[in-house]
A and B are shown apart, each in its own frame.
Chain A
Amino acid sequence: MQENHPAAAHALPQLPKAPTGIDGLDEITEGGLPLGRPTLICGSAGCGKTLMGIEFLVRGILDFNEPGVLMAFEETAQELAANVASLGFDLKDLQERKMLRLDHVHVDRSEIEETGEYDLEGLFIRLGHAIDSIGAKRVVLDTIEALFSGFPNQGVLRSEIRRLFHWLKDKGVTTIITAERGDGTLTRQGLEEYVSDCVILLDNRVIDQITTRRLRVVKYRGSTHGTNEYPYLITENGISVLPVTSLRLDHAVSSHIVSTGIPALDEMFGLRGYYEGSSVLITGTAGTAKTTLAAGFAEKICQDGGRCILFAFEESPAQLLRNMASIKINLQEHVTSGQLLIEASRPTLNGLEQHLVTLHRLVREFKPTAVVIDPITNLISVGNKNEVRSMLTRLIDFLKVNGITALFTALVNGHGFQQEMTDEGVSSLVDTWISVRDLEGVGERNRGLSILKSRGMAHSNQVREFVVTPHGIELLDVVLGPSGIVTGASRLTQQMQEHAEMLAAQQEADRRDREVERRRRMLEANIANLRTEFESAEEELRQISSNEQSRQQTLLSGHQRIAAANPPAPSAPSAPTAESGQ
């Protein structure tokens, strides 16, 4: 057994729990309510105590096949059924299927006359009968405190309630007891004294005209649990509790890359895009084309066959579509094809939590590969910094766990914005942070884009100027001026200057080429002249020599003729010949 210990470390015997099936509650309670024990849910009016109880029963029946009994002290069965029908809970059907029993306990002081000693055995029998008749595993006592208004004898009541809880424990049914919040105490009648296993407190708070409901597990004997206050919502699907984060950082990661939608921006990332499932933050001052960058990304996702939800907190879908179409970001076709969903709403329409729930719901329904939120900063108008931070944490976490690439835009003030974003704690949550800003100078504003961080890949350190053209977003090549990177008109000037210089150099080169050519031609002409001169001289010389030759020839033949006419003396025939030859 000793050697088994390390391996069995997290398989330690856990307190058996009954999952509630309520969205998020099981995560906070790490599995559900204590099985076979009573749990107290207390809260002020309008917190959804009854609803939580009913949902516990209905989910128990539908999801876990555990029949349940609801003992209602305040509302009749018909009222309850009507109230929860809007959530899709058909109590009547469940009753007919013998999975649920409703028992309305009517307590009316005026009808009750105390005439001596009594106990609440009637309640026990009713409950026992209801439990046994359908084999119930779950019981909800909705506001048992109503008994206090009907029975004046508190001593009897208290001891009987204590006995009831013991009895329920003995029966092994998982029970929820709801109770009204008291003044300074958890419950008006101090029921928390009797229910010591698990106490959940519901709270309804209005801050800055926005209501937020919160849930806190006050105690949970024998189990660890989330101790924070968790916002929860009553949605059309019942209660939804939102744990701040999925307590652990153990989501799977992808090394797949998705394009940013702008080829030149892809180039700035070592791996040509964002990691799939990562979160990207684009911060910038007003009018720095954050939305355009976001829309470009959404378009790219859809073009690549993905699905995308775009949450627009500033513009209506029609306006967004029109504006983006003007720069060749055609979102309409993706909306038509069903790949893109634009969900536009005013941030102040709902509390933060409602937004989060809407997002959760849409993500579950639409199953996107990417989510764009434009901008997250508008949500700050709804909640305070802490709330926004916690909401964003949960949001980013949720998307990451689901492997959805998330792109947020955030509006920042001109100065010290990095500090600000760090304050909101978003910067540490996102994987990639792109900053767009105004580069103001020489009488104009230009947009500059830089990557502040990109986890897990090399990225450019340059501030690139980008322009929004009728063909989309373009990142311009870096132009270096005498004092660093230049943008806008300066860039144009610089480019013009460079162009002029280049032209001049070209001209100079051309001129030199021409000079060489001219010289060459000159030389060639000279050479031709000389050659002609030489040729004529040669010709002359040749003429002279040929003349000479013919003269000599003539002379020779003359001599021969003379010799033939005057034959020489035989003694000296050769001498005159030789003389004449000289």
Chain B
Amino acid sequence: MDPFTDPLAPPEPAGPEYVLHLYITGATPNSTRAVRNIKDICEQYLKGRYELLIMDVFQQPALAQREDLIGVPTLIKRSPGLVRRLVGDLSDRERVLKALGINPSAGEGVRYE
């Protein structure tokens, strides 16, 4: 787990287990909360196994159509498994974990290793 301390570091050749894209709109309260929440979750459960991309739709408005965004913030889980869309500031942690396929009772995701 040590080699992947930086979540935004270039991915390993094999690629990280979790690919998460978070689309936010500038520094709105919802967006800031969402960024904080996803970072928390990643650090807590997925440390070292994820790639998180945070994109500001204000900066790249074309993204909104391409990614079919409606509600913002939206977190798109591209892998593993099916693509899931999570709309909201990700404060409902239980639902977020469920949607991401993380078992919270297992405590630290590290246990899988």
For residue B8, give the distance in angstroms from its CB to the closest CB of chain A: 22
For residue B12, give the distance in angstroms from its CB to the closest CB of chain A: 28
Scan residues 124-139 of chain A and give those whose CB is less than 8 A from a CB of chain B. 125-126, 128-130
Of A103, A113, A114, A129, most buried by chain B (CB within 10 Å of CB) is: A113
Q: Digit string of A76-105 for contact with B (CB within 8 Å is 1, else 0)?
A: 000000000000000000000000000101
Known: A121-B57, A122-B64, A129-B61. A115 touches B87 (CB 8 A): yes
Known: A112-B71, A122-B69, A123-B70. A117 touches B88 (CB 8 A): yes
The reply to whether A119 and B61 form a contact with Cβ atoms under 8 Å apart is no
The reply to whether A117 and B30 form a contact with Cβ atoms under 8 Å apart is yes
Q: Give the number of residues in B that approach A within 8 Å (Cβ atoms).
A: 34
The reply to whether B95 and A122 form a contact with Cβ atoms under 8 Å apart is no
Main secondary structure of the interface of A (DSSP, over half): mixed
Known: A105-B70, A126-B69. A118 touches B64 (CB 8 A): no
The reply to whether A118 and B95 form a contact with Cβ atoms under 8 Å apart is no
Q: How far is the CA of A279 from the CA of B19 in the complex (A)?
A: 77
Closest to B34 in A: A116
Of A106, A114, A119, most buried by chain B (CB within 10 Å of CB) is: A119
Interface: A111 (CB within 8 A): yes
The reply to whether A116 and B85 form a contact with Cβ atoms under 8 Å apart is no
> Which of B62, B68, B71, B75 is A129 in contact with, Cβ under 8 Å?
B62
Q: Give the number of residues in A that approach B within 8 Å (Cβ atoms).
A: 25
Interface: A15 (CB within 8 A): no
For residue B37, give the distance in angstroms from its CB to the closest CB of chain A: 8
Q: Digit string of A496-516 for contact with B (CB within 8 Å is 1, else 0)?
A: 000000000000000000000
The reply to whether B65 and A118 form a contact with Cβ atoms under 8 Å apart is no
The reply to whether A113 and B84 form a contact with Cβ atoms under 8 Å apart is yes
Q: How far is the CA of A151 from the CA of B37 in the complex (A)?
A: 21
* Chain B contacts for A107, CB-based, 8 A: 70
Q: How far is the CA of A119 from the CA of B26 in the complex (A)?
A: 13
> Which of A106, A128, A130, A151 is B71 in contact with, Cβ under 8 Å?
A151
The reply to whether B88 and A126 form a contact with Cβ atoms under 8 Å apart is no
* Chain B contacts for A111, CB-based, 8 A: 83-85
The reply to whether B68 and A106 form a contact with Cβ atoms under 8 Å apart is yes
Scan residues 1-60 of chain B and give those whose CB is less than 8 A from a CB of chain A. 23, 25, 28, 30, 33-34, 37, 57-58
Closest to B77 in A: A113
The reply to whether A122 and B23 form a contact with Cβ atoms under 8 Å apart is yes
Q: How far is the CA of A103 from the CA of B23 in the complex (A)?
A: 19
The reply to whether B89 and A125 form a contact with Cβ atoms under 8 Å apart is no
Interface: A190 (CB within 8 A): no
Interface: A147 (CB within 8 A): yes
Q: How far is the CA of A430 from the CA of B75 in the complex (A)?
A: 70
> Which of A112, A113, A121, A151 is B72 in contact with, Cβ under 8 Å?
A121
* Chain A contacts for B88, CB-based, 8 A: 113-118
The reply to whether B86 and A126 form a contact with Cβ atoms under 8 Å apart is no
18 contacts between A and B (CB under 8 A): A106-B68, A111-B83, A115-B95, A117-B33, A118-B89, A120-B72, A121-B57, A122-B23, A122-B25, A125-B57, A125-B61, A125-B69, A126-B61, A126-B69, A129-B61, A129-B65, A147-B70, A151-B71
| 4 shortest interchain CB distances as A-B pairs | A122-B69, A116-B88, A129-B61, A116-B91
